[in-house]
Chain A
Amino acid sequence: MAASSSTPSSRISRFLARLLLFLLLLAAVDYGLGRVIDHFFRKTLYGENWSKENWLLSRPYDVVCFGSSRTFRHYIPAIMQDSLGLSVFNAGANGQYLYYAYALEQLVLERYTPQVIVLDLLPNYVTKAESAEEELGRMSSLAPYASHPVVAGLLTSGKFNEKLKLRSRLYRYNSRLLSLAANYFNQPGAMDNGFVYVGKSKFRPLHPFPDDLDENPAVVYDPERIKVLKKFIRSAQEREIQVVLSFSPTATPLSPKIEEILSFYERLAQETGAPFIKIVSAEHPRFYDQTLYSDLIHMNELGGRAFTPLFTAELKKVLSGRHPL
């Protein structure tokens, strides 16, 4: 009755005042609860794959290998550490490409300075085989680090609406609460500095490079991605970190398209002064053995055990200045 006797403007004012109060309460809960989750998240170290960032950032590693699922499966830290006498972390992640590697590298560089950064290259790091939007859309695991400007820039692509969403501390943990809770009690166990021993999985002729799936026979380079790749290299080099580019073997011969992109990477390595360790099956035919692979481009544990010593030997040459640029 009171509402009907008041004037419309006073009713609107009263409603807006209440709404404002409610929004303030929501903001306070979002901030408070977000900080609590944040606290537990920072203590969560031993996640797998996409949730191992804290592990990488929690203490300094001498050598960090960045990249995609190929990095995740091909570079065995224990073997590298034994040979190099340096601590090694495998920061490769399934389904993640250059943008993720760049964001993660920036987070590492904010915290410590490794001696060596390895980037295992995929052909689509510099092409338009996949839209940037799709690639960036898979990077939500980095949302808790959204206070870093590079991470925020990549996650939001500069869009106002996305920036607004990331203002919410709770939203940064969207769909992650359960894995966070599970990881909180995790121990490294069978994991080896980011690497997971998957055993001798059987070969299936699946998962070619995204560029080989693209029907367009010509390589369409992405200037934006090339710029990010150069930034990845330069921001490490500026801190006097040895950046090493690499390419690991595949189960079948490379297509002309992939060969062309590898030539581009060779030119880029020359231009930036980053050594390029290219280990392709054509030059090392034992890597055509399909028992080393779980699919066309991913090696299994046997493959990783065959590849890592070869790569580490080449890396040693780089570190001793004997590797040709």
Chain B
Amino acid sequence: MLFNTMSFGYFFILVAALFFVLPQRQRWLFLLLCNFCYYIFFKAEYLLLLLLAIGVSWWSALRMERHEEQGKRRAWLIFSLVINIGILLTFKYFNLFSRTIMDVSAAVGGSLQMPLLKWALPVGISFYTFSASSYVIDVYRRKLPAERHAGLYAAYVSFFPNIVSGPIERAPHLLPQFHAAREFDGARAASGLRLMLWGFFKKLVVADRLAIYVNAVFGNPDVHSGATSLMASLFFTFQIYCDFSGYTDIAIGVARILGFDLKKNFNRPYFSRSITEFWRRWHISLSSWFRDYLYIPLGGNRVSVPRAYLNLFIVFFVSGMWHGASWTFLIWGGLHGLYAVSSKFSQPWRDRTATRLHIPAGVRRAFALLVTFMLVNFAWIYFRAADLATANRMVAKIFSADYSRLFIPAPDQFVYSLAAITMLLAVELFQERRSLTAWLDARPLPLRWALYVSVLVIILLMGIFNGSQFIYAQF
């Protein structure tokens, strides 16, 4: 029951209607049941894993709080992390581990057979594991008191708008919202609907439209030219952004209608002028999670320069690992690590060169934006490719001299793709300069409604309504 299905529409209308009709004291229970129902729609068996993650983290935090002794607190922390992250690692990496051992065995002439798991990855496991783990760590660090109400805690971890693909919510931000009384607010609901509308535009008009071309090229890289491969990689760069940020916009919109605030997860990342800035604007909830729970504990930048570079590289590499057990994700993370390290390393030299050559600030900014975009675009090739060989073939094509022909299966569909990207960039460029929300709120109602209706007309005429999966739902 993904956001872009009619079933979700019916589900959400029912949930929103009943939520505000019920008395305040019953709402958390209703929401919890809705969370579980939503999750069961994907695969009922995996609800047990979700309950285990909730139970272990909730119980560990409570036990931790009862102990003043640091050793015991740490024991409960480790217990919780081992169970929760252990499940995540098992599902994500067991098969890679088994296959690697078998490959190594075969390479030395052996024939060792290892078991392979045939289970699909539980929906949202990477996201709820991180939410639950951050809660336990925060309680351990005494930044947060342990939640005594198991139901409210369960409602926080399993909150249906963000369980599948985030944003990864931290307990200090979201958990108190489950304690607070919620009243219906028309303005909030309208702003939630507006965000959902924009999310659907991104998903249906941009992401799913571009996916048609991207799938055709990445699915058969050998027959396409360098120009086509480059076009497909550029299209994927926009596809993944619109797919993921579209999901996030809908999630935030849904939560907002119910009276909850989820954290912003994207901030127009392709307008970044450095890789560091890109990661401050892309998947913000994950990058800030890694910053607070991995980078800073590793020492952050308060260590020697080489160690700080290593820490930075480790964070990006682990971020690649978080996405899945595949060399392509590791290379994607590694590339971003290399970009970040080399960006920091070369910063003084670049500044000196720009000053010496008297390069105007505007030109420098535009160049930085273009270079950052192309670096990110290059890394996405590894992220998208089915395997390393496909990614390498795509890269080889792009750097070949074969730019004579561009694959355009249907000219009108290609024009729709370009038009979709243009509309997206126009809106994002506007938002870079001023707040679209504030601008809209200052317009008279007829103009606002005319704009909303126009977006809906574009969705109806140009959207792809095949109910395709959100890319990040697989993580």
Contacts and interface: CB of A to CB of B under 8 A. Distances in A.
B449 A22 contact: yes
Contacts of B456: 26
A29 B456 CA distance: 10
Interface residues of A, dominant DSSP:
helix
Contact of B183 (A8, A137, A173, A178): A8
B463 A161 contact: no
B184 A161 contact: no
A15 B415 contact: no
A164 interface: yes
A161 B7 CA distance: 9
A173 B463 CA distance: 11
Contacts of B184: 8, 11-12, 15
Nearest to A14: B186
Given A14-B186, A161-B6, A175 B460 contact: no
Given A11-B184, A161-B6, A175-B413, A30 B190 contact: no
A85 B382 CA distance: 61
Given A15-B186, A15-B190, A22-B449, A168 B460 contact: yes
Contacts of B461: 170-171, 173-175, 177
Contacts of A11: 183-186
Interface in B52-74: none
A176 to B, nearest CB: 8
Contacts of A15: 184, 186, 189-190
B13 to A, nearest CB: 11
Contact of B465 (A174, A177, A179): A174
B20 interface: yes
B315 to A, nearest CB: 42
Contacts of A170: 457, 460-461
Contacts of B20: 8, 12
A76 to B, nearest CB: 25
Residue from B190, B461, B464 whose CB has the most chain A CB atoms within 10 Å: B461
Contact of B6 (A29, A164, A171, A174): A164
A175 B209 CA distance: 10
B181 to A, nearest CB: 11
Interface residues of B, number: 26
B467 to A, nearest CB: 9
Interface string B182-199: 011111011000000000
B416 interface: yes
A33 interface: yes
B194 to A, nearest CB: 11
A52 to B, nearest CB: 16
Interface string A144-188: 000000000000000001001100101101110111001000000
Nearest to A172: B460
Contact of A174 (B183, B190, B449, B463): B463
Interface string A18-35: 100010011001100100
A3 B6 contact: no
A11 B6 CA distance: 27
Range of interface residues on chain A?
20 to 34
Given A25-B453, A182-B412, A174 B186 contact: no
A25 B449 CA distance: 9
A178 B415 contact: yes
Contacts of A165: 465
Contacts of B465: 165, 171, 174
B186 A178 contact: no
A3 B460 contact: no
A22 to B, nearest CB: 6
Contacts of B6: 161, 164
B345 interface: no
Residue from A8, A137, A178 whose CB has the most chain B CB atoms within 10 Å: A178
B430 interface: no
B79 interface: no
B236 to A, nearest CB: 20
B15 interface: no
A29 to B, nearest CB: 5
B462 A174 contact: yes
Residue from B20, B456, B460 whose CB has the most chain A CB atoms within 10 Å: B460
Contact of A29 (B185, B457, B463): B457
Contact of A178 (B190, B416, B449, B452): B416
Contacts of B457: 29-30, 33, 170
A88 B432 CA distance: 59
Contacts of A14: 186
A168 to B, nearest CB: 6
B453 A26 contact: yes
Contacts of A25: 449, 453
Residue from A15, A174, A179 whose CB has the most chain B CB atoms within 10 Å: A15
B378 to A, nearest CB: 31
Contacts of A30: 457, 460
Contact of A175 (B7, B187, B416, B452): B416
Given A3-B185, A175-B413, A22 B460 contact: no
A305 to B, nearest CB: 28
Contacts of A26: 453, 456
Given A22-B452, A29-B453, A175 B462 contact: yes
Contacts of A168: 460
Nearest to B7: A161
A173 B461 CA distance: 6
A179 B187 CA distance: 40
Residue from A30, A33, A161, A168 whose CB has the most chain B CB atoms within 10 Å: A161
Interface of B: 6-7, 20, 183-187, 189-190, 412-413, 415-416, 449, 452-453, 456-457, 460-466
Closest CB pairs A-B (n = 3): A178-B412, A15-B186, A161-B6
Given A170-B461, A175-B462, 16 more contacts: A11-B184, A15-B186, A15-B189, A15-B190, A18-B190, A22-B452, A25-B453, A30-B457, A164-B6, A171-B460, A171-B461, A174-B460, A174-B461, A174-B463, A178-B416, A182-B412
